[in-house]
Amino acid sequence: MGIADRRIEDGNLMQAVAKLTPEKIKAAYELVTKGEAGARLSTYYQSCMRCGMCAQACHFSISHPDDPSYTPVGKMDQTMWKLIRQKGEVTPDEVYGMAQIAYTECNMCKRCVHYCPVGIDTGFITSLVRRFCYRLGVVPTYILDTAHSHSAVMNQMWVKQDEWIDSLIWQEDEARGEFPNLRVPLEKEGAEILYSVIAPEPKFRTQLIYQAAAIMHEAGLDWTMPALPGWDNSDMCMFVGDSEMMGRLKRCHYEMAQRLKVKRIVMGECGHAFRSVYDTGNRWLGFKDWPVPVVHSVEFFWELLTTGKIKIPKKFDKPVTIHDPCNITRGYGLMDKLREVVHMLCDKVVEMSPNREHTICCCAGGGIINCGPPFKSVRVAGNKAKADQLAATGVEYLVAPCHNCHGGLEDIIGHYKLGMHTKFLGDLIYQLMEKTRAE
Amino acid sequence: MQTLYNFATGPLLWASFAIFLAGSVWRIYSMIALARKKEMSVYAYMSWGFSFRSIFRWLTPFGTLGWKANPAMTVGTFAFHLCLLLLLLFAPGHAEMWDYNFGLAIWSLPEWLADTLTVVVIACCAFFAFRRLRVPAVRYVTTTHDWAVLLLVFLPFISAFLAKMQLGNTLFMTLLHVLSAEAVLIAIPFTRLSHAIFSPFTRAYMGSEFGGVRHCPDW
Amino acid sequence: MGSPDRESGTSANNWDWEKGKRTIVQSIAPKEEDLWQEEAYAAPDGESFAAVVRLEDESFTLRVNDGRWEETFEKVWYPRFAPDGRLTALVMADDEWTVAVDGEAWEERFAFAWATTFGPNGAIAASVQQDMRYACCLNGAPWENMYENAQDYCFSADGKKTAGVVQVKSLKQADLDGFRSGIFTVAVDGEAWDQSFMNVWTPVFDGRDNERVAAQARLNAYDYTIVVNGEPWAATYNCVWEPVFNPATGVLAAPVRQGGRWGVAFDAAMNWPASLYQCWGLQWSRDGKNLWAVVAPEYGKFTVACNNKPWAATFPVVTELALSPDGTRAAALACHANKDYKVVVDGKPWQGSWDMAWQPVFSPDGAHVAALVEKGGKKTYLVNNLPLDESFTEAWTPAFSPDSSSLLLRGVQNNALVRVVLPLKDIH
């Protein structure tokens, strides 16, 4: 039992591990544990009682009930606790396993926090293991490529500046077919709202930009979209362990908003990007709070619906269930607003159990889905727990206001043949709202 | 043996209290100094309100998801720590020690209750040992260190109990009780038993981060 | 690309500095015959405003005061006035993009053109793409060499040259080795340096002779440094931010991170020790004697430092650092989470807090400071720590007369574009 028995081949993991030497491993260990990490790591290491209470927290361990190597503490034991025990003297093969655990078997969803009496932050420990692996270059291929893209063009998908602007102008054109006077205002200084998205939107899901524009237009808002870099709020650098690039990205994002003199940033339905703006990126940059408030779509839609800027003449009539994305519920307490929004949109809501801040993870977040096809089976097998939970609701529609959650949930829905459809809130709002300004 | 006993309950007791206190202060000081140097954000987010909210919540049996999901462990953990503390402070034999060494006249538990609590602690130790042996998730992460501290904590209670029941050499058992209890004191700052001094801080930070940054309960 | 160098200035000498309020346009409200009119931009001298107007479905142009550009385009956006008052916009006709200046489109057309910027001596540049190759286009002439990708353009101090970050080789999908081999470098007027790096950002010219260009570089996944004309500094760091050349001596200063803290290195030698939680936005005084920066001496506490001496007052966020012309004084904005903006001058916050504020402006003699601020949707100006009585529904940053005696305000009141010249002695 353990990671060595379930190695998955990944081009860069193999290539990077082949270049490791004991000295390099030790140096990275020293750098991360002594040079960078501080009191939290050493205190957690000593105080973790190895009591195993967290075993029931993790979707991986719930989905693999007979394999303790998937429990949060089991994963810490195979990675950081082992590194500390052995003072960084581990083999390249062991580093491979540590990378596989840290990048593909822990979503850093922090559900285990609710189970640990001592208050150990397993997600934080995973991020340190990732940092250690990153310092050795031992990072799964696909996610490392997205981090490279971030560094080169300040977005996740190698989208060039003209491609971004072109996508926006194109969506504006498309949307005008439906709303004759719709405008996607670019670079409008002093707008109330700056709308930011993640790079997969212009690349694969332009429909989401269309919908957002339609909602903004219908609500009659003073909004803008940035034409220059910083428009992508996503942050794979945070997930690979490249803290320096994470900081650079967040600076770029905040400065874009400061340059445009907007009051606040509204972001699409994404979870991890939210984490990087309120929790990790700001800390690295030295900001205690975010320098510019970032409003998640859930909060934003709640505002639009409660103030009547968007009206829903007829609610969605099929029963739906709600998935609580970890980064906005356990990460930012939006579980009540999420429910209120869904209830304003749908007639019948069937809750999952557990839900709200105790939500079971989608198993795609934390960068796992970004590790690409080699690890898809890990995600799907590792989240039978969620599949069972979904199946138990007996409904056909699932609301999940997060891109990564969508990807992960669609994969388990397909694999476990649940026959469900996932919806963004934006999908529902666009579909249901009164379109007073449409042709 | 009597000489050794006198030494153990005299200078050695003083020494172990001193090591425990100095060691704990030093560990806490080092932790805070390290946090100041490397993790100023931890300081920035610390909040009294959220810290105590979290600490009290987790001091409530079945008050959190973790406690609810592990009922046996909840009963075991609370019983163990509560009995341990009660016995440490109020065991009839300890009243004498408080009085003799510190000049403190302290109320003490009735004998029968003290005996019962001791049995509870012993039973809890057995339960913890059982988990380490038989629950896969626990067994998988159990190290020699975990066994050592469990044994160390177990010794003062089993020896007290045997002495009380007059099983074996009473003086030897009492001596073993005193020595092992002193070993526990000394071990607290330097082993996994340090959770006794660190967990208020780890709990406080988690409570503060969840309360202040994540706007979400940490239980 | 950054804002034009503050020395490039404008020909404010020729502006009308006669005291008083003049209405330039009675109503800037959209005209009935237009499908829509976008947000207004005022000319630096306040004598005109421009806004994109949509005439028909695919017919756009610029409205300028009560007139219009003669030519119409399939799309027009990004109307911006150059500091010398010329009006530019990005325009598309026949599926080709270019920049139009005062209504005349550049002859060169591109598959895409965007991000117009203004440099010294009337330089106008834009990013352009043709056949999926990228370059900078300066005053209508694109670089001869175009690249796989190019961005982050900057001007030389004379406005005659441009430099930018270019990608010299293409990458296959998920091509980690290709990326790690270093495919980014700087091109000056389209000529790429021989050396290339894993990442390069924000090139900048040495304004003394415009022969040297420096940029931030990442040599490998972990080591950052500054490169000058392709040559990396001997020292490497955890991270670096934008380098700046001392305008008098040519010393190159850059914020660098060591052991988790920031300091400033001068030509690869530490000058401000690495003790700061943040340090960026370096600016030299023109005489090269003072180096200013936005810094965080403690976690979460930002301020401004001059020669490594921070102001005593700290704030959650500090932005928009502006120096007096002689570089001995500075002003900046402070806020908390983009709210409660304060104008801070010489380390002292001015009275009042605002929903938004714009970069403070020093008078040419360095004695006065003015800033545009907004509260409750109304804009007004602060001058030497006093708010003016005049308020506007829309307004633009103030400008001082060359003799530092008057202030020009540009704003909209009751839909009318007005221009106010206010002698400083008349203020309160």
Q: Are C79 and C89 in contact (CB under 8 A)?
A: yes
Does the residue A178 lie in any domain?
yes
The pLDDT of residue B10 is 86
Whether the per-residue pLDDT at C52 is higher than 80: the answer is yes
The pLDDT of residue A12 is 97
- In this prediction, residues B85-96 reach a mean pLDDT of 91
Whether the per-residue pLDDT at C7 is higher than 50: the answer is no
Of the residues A143, A160, A170, A192, the best mutation for testing chain C's interface (the one with the most C CB atoms within 10 Å of its CB) is A160
> How close is the nearest chain A Cα to the Cα of C163, in Å?
17
Cβ of C167 within 8 Å of Cβ of A152? The answer is: yes
Integer CA distances (angstroms), A239 to A104, A124, A129, A330, in order: 11, 11, 11, 18
Distance separating alpha carbons of residues A212 and A174, to the nearest angstrom: 13
Comparison of pLDDT for C7 and C331, the residue scoring more: C331
- Please, what sign has the CA dihedral across residues B178, B180, B182, B185? negative
Reported confidence tier of residue C10, pLDDT bands at 50, 70, 90:
low
Distance separating alpha carbons of residues C57 and C74, to the nearest angstrom: 9
Instruction: Confirm or reject contact between C277 and chain A (CB < 8 A).
Output: yes
Cβ of B40 within 8 Å of Cβ of C260? The answer is: no
- Does A259 lie in the same domain as A153? yes
- Maximum Cα–Cα distance for chain C, whole Å? 66
Cβ of B41 within 8 Å of Cβ of C299? The answer is: yes
Does the residue A307 lie in any domain?
no
Mean pLDDT of chain C: 95
Structure tokens at A219: 């609500």
Does the residue A341 lie in any domain?
yes
Whether the per-residue pLDDT at C281 is higher than 50: the answer is yes
Cβ of B43 within 8 Å of Cβ of C299? The answer is: yes
- Does A66 lie in the same domain as A156? no
Cβ of C317 within 8 Å of Cβ of A142? The answer is: no
Distance separating alpha carbons of residues A211 and A171, to the nearest angstrom: 9
Tens digits of per-residue pLDDT, B10-40?
899 999 999 999 999 999 999 999 999 999 9
Tell me the backbone φ, ψ of residue A44, rounded to 5 degrees.
-65, -40
- Does A179 lie in the same domain as A267? yes
Residues 6+ apart with CB under 8 A from B4: B175
Mean pLDDT of chain B: 94
The pLDDT of residue B104 is 84
Distance separating alpha carbons of residues A71 and A98, to the nearest angstrom: 14
Instruction: Confirm or reject contact between A200 and chain B (CB < 8 A).
Output: no
What domains lie within chain C, and their CATH numbers? 1-142 (2.130.10.150)
Residue A354: is the preceding peptide bond cis (ω within 30°)?
yes
- In this prediction, residues C249-276 reach a mean pLDDT of 97
Q: Are C94 and C132 in contact (CB under 8 A)?
A: no
Structure tokens at C167: 């990608």
- In this prediction, residues A338-342 reach a mean pLDDT of 98
**Boundaries of domain holding A26:** 3-139
Interface of A with B in 111-140 (CB under 8 A): 113-121
- Does A368 lie in the same domain as A289? no
Reported confidence tier of residue C428, pLDDT bands at 50, 70, 90:
low
The pLDDT of residue C3 is 40
CATH number of B2-212: 1.20.950
- Does A337 lie in the same domain as A284? no
Mean pLDDT of chain A: 96
Report which of C375, C367, C371, C372 is spatially closest to residue C404, judged by C-alpha positions: C367
Distance separating alpha carbons of residues A368 and A379, to the nearest angstrom: 8
Cβ of A162 within 8 Å of Cβ of C112? The answer is: yes
Tell me the backbone φ, ψ of residue C341, rounded to 5 degrees.
-70, 140
The pLDDT of residue B96 is 83
Tens digits of per-residue pLDDT, C107-153?
999 999 999 999 999 999 999 999 999 999 999 999 999 999 999 99
Of the residues B28, B216, B219, the best mutation for testing chain A's interface (the one with the most A CB atoms within 10 Å of its CB) is B216
Facing residue for B195 by CB, picked from A47, A66, A115: A47
Tens digits of per-residue pLDDT, A66-119?
999 999 999 999 999 999 999 999 999 999 999 999 999 999 999 999 999 999
Report which of A318, A325, A381, A397 is spatially closest to residue A355, judged by C-alpha positions: A325
* DSSP secondary structure letter of residue C197: B
Tens digits of per-residue pLDDT, B142-182?
999 999 999 999 999 999 999 988 888 889 999 999 999 99
- Please, what sign has the CA dihedral across residues C70, C75, C79, C85? negative
Does the residue A439 lie in any domain?
no
Tell me the backbone φ, ψ of residue C276, rounded to 5 degrees.
-95, 150
- Does A231 lie in the same domain as A271? yes
State the chains in contact with B (3 or more Cβ–Cβ pairs under 8 Å).
A, C
Integer CA distances (angstroms), A398 to A5, A303, B86, in order: 35, 22, 51
Cβ of B216 within 8 Å of Cβ of A121? The answer is: no
Domain boundaries, chain B: 2-212
**Residue of chain A nearest B191, judged by CA positions:** A46
Distance separating alpha carbons of residues B42 and A42, to the nearest angstrom: 14
- Does A187 lie in the same domain as A293? yes
Q: What is the DSSP string of C83-114?
A: TTS-EEEEEEETTEEEEEETTEEPS--BSEEE
Residue A93, domain CATH? 1.10.1060
Instruction: Show residues of chain B in contact with A66, CB under 8 Å.
Output: 136
The pLDDT of residue B1 is 78
Report which of C37, C326, C151, C59 is spatially closest to residue A227, judged by C-alpha positions: C151
Q: Tell which of A139, A169, A197 closes a domain.
A: A139
Q: Are A68 and B136 in contact (CB under 8 A)?
A: yes
Cβ of B43 within 8 Å of Cβ of C298? The answer is: no
Facing residue for B137 by CB, picked from A37, A55, A279: A55
Residue A357, domain CATH? 3.40.50
The pLDDT of residue C2 is 37
Instruction: Show residues of chain B in contact with C299, CB under 8 Å.
Output: 40-41, 43-44
Tell me the backbone φ, ψ of residue C186, rounded to 5 degrees.
-110, 140
The angle subtended at Cα C332 by Cα C327 and Cα C338, nearest 5°, is: 160
β-strand pairing of C20-25 with C378-383: unpaired
Does the residue A23 lie in any domain?
yes
| C-alpha C185: how far from chain center | 23
Distance separating alpha carbons of residues C258 and B80, to the nearest angstrom: 48
What is the helix (H) or strand (E) element at residue A380, kind and residue range? helix A376-381
Q: Are C241 and C233 in contact (CB under 8 A)?
A: no
Structure tokens at A144: 């490392």
Reported confidence tier of residue B102, pLDDT bands at 50, 70, 90:
confident
Whether the per-residue pLDDT at C5 is higher than 50: the answer is no
Cβ of B40 within 8 Å of Cβ of C299? The answer is: yes
- Does A406 lie in the same domain as A382? yes
Cβ of A46 within 8 Å of Cβ of B198? The answer is: yes
Does the residue A144 lie in any domain?
no
Whether the per-residue pLDDT at A188 is higher than 80: the answer is yes
- In this prediction, residues C281-287 reach a mean pLDDT of 97
- Does A284 lie in the same domain as A196? yes
Reported confidence tier of residue B99, pLDDT bands at 50, 70, 90:
confident
Whether the per-residue pLDDT at B95 is higher than 90: the answer is no
Q: Tell which of A139, A157, A189 closes a domain.
A: A139
- Does A264 lie in the same domain as A235? yes
Tens digits of per-residue pLDDT, C22-43?
999 999 999 999 999 999 999 9
Tens digits of per-residue pLDDT, A384-428?
999 999 999 999 999 999 999 999 999 999 999 999 999 999 999
Facing residue for C218 by CB, picked from A137, A151, A227: A151
> How close is the nearest chain B Cα to the Cα of A294, in Å?
13
* DSSP secondary structure letter of residue A68: G
Q: Are B62 and B71 in contact (CB under 8 A)?
A: yes
Does the residue A219 lie in any domain?
yes
- Does A317 lie in the same domain as A223? no
Matching residue, tokens 């409200």: C29
| C-alpha C333: how far from chain center | 16
Tens digits of per-residue pLDDT, A287-329?
999 999 999 999 999 999 999 999 999 999 999 999 999 999 9
- In this prediction, residues A432-437 reach a mean pLDDT of 96
Distance separating alpha carbons of residues B114 and B95, to the nearest angstrom: 12
Distance separating alpha carbons of residues A319 and A395, to the nearest angstrom: 6
Specify burial of residue A222 (Cβ count, 10 A radius: 0-12, 13-18, 19+): middle
Tens digits of per-residue pLDDT, C230-243?
999 999 999 999 99
Q: Tell which of A113, A139, A165 closes a domain.
A: A139
- Does A135 lie in the same domain as A153? no
- In this prediction, residues C169-195 reach a mean pLDDT of 97
Q: Are A223 and A191 in contact (CB under 8 A)?
A: yes
Tens digits of per-residue pLDDT, A25-36?
999 999 999 999
**Residue of chain B nearest A114, judged by CA positions:** B219
Tell me the backbone φ, ψ of residue C106, rounded to 5 degrees.
-60, 150
Facing residue for B141 by CB, picked from A38, A74, A330: A74
Report which of A120, A38, C277 is spatially closest to residue B34, judged by C-alpha positions: A38
How many other CB atoms are there within 10 angstroms of residue C382's CB atom?
22
Structure tokens at A64: 């693999």
The pLDDT of residue B100 is 80
Tell me the backbone φ, ψ of residue B110, rounded to 5 degrees.
-60, 150
Cβ of A279 within 8 Å of Cβ of B213? The answer is: yes
Tens digits of per-residue pLDDT, C143-167?
999 999 999 999 999 999 999 999 9
Cβ of C358 within 8 Å of Cβ of A227? The answer is: no
Q: How many domains does chain A have?
A: 3
Tens digits of per-residue pLDDT, B72-83?
999 999 999 999
Instruction: Show residues of chain A in contact with B41, CB under 8 Å.
Output: 283, 288
The pLDDT of residue C8 is 43
